[in-house]
Amino acid sequence: MNEYRRYIVVLLCFLSGCVNIPDSYAPPIQRRPLTGTEPSDVGHFANFGEKKADAYIVRDVSDAIQSGAWRWTGKKPELRFFLESVDHLTFTMDFSIAEITLKDTGPVAISVMINGNLLDTLHYDKNGEQHFKKAVPANFLRPKAINHVTLEVDKPWVSKTDNQVLGFILTRAGFVQ
């Protein structure tokens, strides 16, 4: 009988260790911190010879990096930049007009628009490397947000063999103080 009592006591010990599993609850609502900025893959400036510049391209810029330093654009390339602040910023761009395209199209104009606002229209009748730099009115920009830059070529070059459209050669672009 003692042996049975031991088994009963051990069995009661095991049974007393069993408890109900608590109900499961959804995790708490995730909230953004009150200070700080939204993380972004893009910043205020891009070198288009780098693979990470893909994050800055919205449309109409080639994925292919040429000579490790630049990319072709199409008729209406669009870029995006994250700007923490919008005070005293200048939009700057290094690019080239290709001789082969200019020979067929004649002089070209490139309209620079920031968030839909016309910043300037550039006119080129000679090929080669170009540099553009112009102060941007703060009301054209959105702080702590993505800002879009559209660069529209009035007369892009169109290939006679495959109808490929080329605008200009983009090296660097972005906002500086």
The residue ranges of every structural domain in the chain are: 45-176
Kindly indicate the confidence band of residue 129, based on its pLDDT and cuts at 50, 70 and 90: very high
User: Residue 68 has what pLDDT?
Assistant: 93
Q: For residues 21 and 99, what is the distance between their CA atoms, to the nearest angstrom?
A: 76
Contact 144, 87 (CB under 8 A): no
Fold of 45-176: Jelly Rolls (2.60.120)
Amino acid at residue number 10: V
What pLDDT is attached to residue 12? 64
Kind and range of the H or E run holding 54: none
State how far the alpha carbon of 26 is from the alpha carbons of 23, 29, 69, 100, in Å.
10, 9, 50, 63
pLDDT of residue 3: 73
Q: pTM for this one? A: 0.77
Q: What is the pLDDT of residue 5?
A: 76
